[in-house]
Amino acid sequence: MRFVPRQNVLCERGREWISLRLDGELAELAQKMLDSHLARCAECRAFEADLVATTGLVRATPLEQLERPVSLPVGRRLALSTRRVTAVAASAAAVALGLAAFLNLPSSGPLAAAPVLPRVAGDNSDLDQARLVRATLLRPAVPPRETRGPQQT
C-alpha cells in the first residue's frame, strides 16, 4: 500500500472517503462523488485496491488470545499528597486575595462621596472649529495662476 502525502485536495478527500466506505459509513452522495473521482484518478484506484486488500486481511485474521489478562500495577496512594496540599494552599491564597481586593473597593452606597465633575460652558465652539477645519480640508485645491510676461519685483 502506497501513501502519497499532499497530492491534492481531491485525492486527500477521496482517500478519506475510501476508508469511510470500507467501514460502511459513507453517505450516498459522497459515494457517487468518490466513484466519479476514482474513474479519473489511477493513483486513488490503486490506493483503494491496496486498502481493500489490507483491510480484508486484518478483518479475516483471528483474534489472538492472551496468555494472561492485562493488569496495571496497583500503586500506593497517599491520602494527602504534596501536590494536593500545594494546590489547596494556592487556591486558598487566591480566594483570600480576591476577597481582600473586593472588600477594598470604593463603596457605592449612600455614604460614598460623589465624584466631583467639573462643569463647563455649554457652547459648541470646539465643534464649530472642527467643522471649519474639515470644510477647509475638503475644498478642492485651487491651481496657481499662470503669469504671462516679465514679472516685476
pLDDT in tens, 126-136: 888 899 998 88
Provide the CA 30 distance to its chain's centre, in angstroms: 28
Say how far apart CA 33 and CA 49 lie, in whole Å: 18
Residue with cell 462643569: 119
Mean pLDDT of 24-50: 94
**Nearest alpha carbon to residue 23 among 59, 47, 64:** 59
Query: How far is residue 125 from each of residues 56, 118, 131, measured CA to CA in Å?
Result: 86, 18, 10
Q: How confident is the model at residue 16 (pLDDT cuts 50, 70, 90)?
A: very high
Q: Does the structure show a pLDDT above 80 at 119?
A: no
Average pLDDT over residues 94-104: 87
Q: Tell me the angle at which helices 9-22 and 28-40 cross, rounded to the nearest 10 degrees.
A: 130
Sequence spans of domains, the chain: 9-60
Can you tell me the distance from the alpha carbon of 140 to that of 153, in angstroms, rounded to the nearest whole number?
30
pLDDT score recorded for residue 100:
85
Q: Return the higher-pLDDT residue of 17 and 8.
A: 17
Here the cell at position 138 is 475638503
Q: Which long-range contacts (CB under 8 A, 24 or more apart) does 14-17 make?
A: 14/38, 14/41, 14/44, 15/44, 15/47
pLDDT reading at 44 higher than 90 = yes
Give dist(CA 16, CA 27) in Å, integer: 13
133-150 pLDDT, tens digit each: 988 888 887 777 776 666
